Amino acid sequence: MGEPQDDRTPASPDYESMMALWMRERMTPAEWAARNAHRILMWSGPTDRYRDPELDRWIQDLGRVLSAAGVVEEARRRYLTDAERQWAEQRELEEF
C-alpha cells in the first residue's frame, strides 16, 4: 500500500469521527483487525487523509494489516483464543 500520498482526499468529519471511534478502542491496528476484520467487506479508510496525525497513522497501519496477505490471520493467532479465532473465521464465510 505504501506511504500515504499528499493528494489524498480529506476524510469527511462524519467518517473521521467513525474512524476515531475504532482507534479509541485502544487496540493496535493488528489487534483491531484480528477482532473486527470479519465485519469489513470493503473499506476505503487509507485513501483518505485525517486531520489528527495519530489517527492518520493508525488508519494507514490498519490498511496495511488488512491488505497484506496472511497478516490478519497472523494477528488472530496472536491476539485471539482458538474459539474466538474460529468464530471470526466462520463469520468471514457467511454472506452479507
* 62 domain residue, yes or no: yes
pLDDT for 19-78, tens place per residue?
Answer: 999 999 999 999 999 999 988 888 888 999 999 999 999 999 999 999 999 999 999 999
Confirm if 63 and 1 have CB atoms less than 8 A apart.
yes
Spell out where the chain has E strands.
9-10, 48-49
Q: Provide φ and ψ at 49, rounded to 5°.
A: -110, 135
Task: Evaluate if residue 15 carries a pLDDT over 60.
Answer: yes
* 4 domain residue, yes or no: no
* 88 domain residue, yes or no: yes
* 3 domain residue, yes or no: no
Per-residue pLDDT, 2: 57
Q: Is the dihedral of CA 47, 70, 35, 93 positive or negative?
A: positive
Give how many domains the chain has, as a whole number.
1
* 41 domain residue, yes or no: yes
* 79 domain residue, yes or no: yes
Q: Which domain holds residue 84?
A: 9-93
* 73 domain residue, yes or no: yes
Helix axes 53-67, 13-23, angle to 10 degrees: 70
In the chain, the amino acid numbered 55 is L
Residue 95: pLDDT band with limits 50, 70, 90: low
pTM of the full structure: 0.84
